[in-house]
Amino acid sequence: MSNIKTADVRALLFDMDGTLLDSTPAVNATWAYFAREYDLDLHEVLRTSHGVRTIDNMKNWCGITDPIELRDAVELFEGMIVKEAQDLQAAGKDGLIALPNVLNLLNKLNTSPIPVWAIVTSATNTYASAALPTAGIPKTPKLITADDVTKGKPHPEPYLTGAKALDVDVKDCIVVEDAPSGVRSGVASGAKVLATCTSHTREQLQNLGAEWIVTDLSKVSFEVKDGRVQLQIDETP
């Protein structure tokens, strides 16, 4: 039985961190600082925080409830990630880098005269606007951030908002995600979900409702025709 599957949809909705770009070294360094400051179990934080809005992580892990303190903590956290990434890159190391085949896919999507993709991230607009160009990610037709929703992933609101921004039916979209919370968000929205094993294992992503699971986006190819995206998806591990 072939592991190559096909799909035809109106739009792709991509998560950012862990799906399009890898910020792991910078994020881990930032969480290490917060773990020291707030006496957190760093291993447990890193295991469960990925794909969750920073504001929700600050509430859940650091116990911050005051709105002004929350705002300041989010700005500090995300600012530290960007600064750490830039320092790593200046030292010739990986800071914020595009994941395999991402630039090729996104540049091809941008050849469509009709917008066929968006980024839907749990990050704030400030962080996303700094991280995307740092990693060389091309400009997206629509960017949905934590600032655009009232409920973050795994709630379906982020991906429903992304589909609405493109003026498409979410059921005619594929959500591309790497984190369990994001997969659940996409499934709950009514979209089909393509999960990538770029931050979690295949076992961690199974049984969450994703229609396809791939190693990374090098396993995906497509053609854009008449405002639709026709995909070939290789699920070979």
Residues noted as catalytic:
15, 17
Our separate counts of H helices and E strands in the chain read 9, 11
Q: Which residues contact 39 (CB under 8 A, 6 or more apart)?
A: none
Length of the chain: 237
* Strands across the sheet containing 4-9: 4-9, 228-234, 220-225
Residue 235, SS3 per DSSP: coil
Radius of gyration for the alpha carbons in the chain, expressed in angstroms and rounded: 17
Cα pseudo-dihedral 175, 178, 179, 181, rounded to 10: 0
| Whether the bond into 154 is cis, omega within 30 of 0 | yes
Instruction: Tell me how far apart the alpha carbons of residues 106 and 65 are, in angstroms, rounded to a whole number.
Output: 38
Instruction: Tell me how far apart the alpha carbons of residues 30 and 177 are, in angstroms, rounded to a whole number.
Output: 22
Instruction: Tell me how far apart the alpha carbons of residues 169 and 20 are, in angstroms, rounded to a whole number.
Output: 23
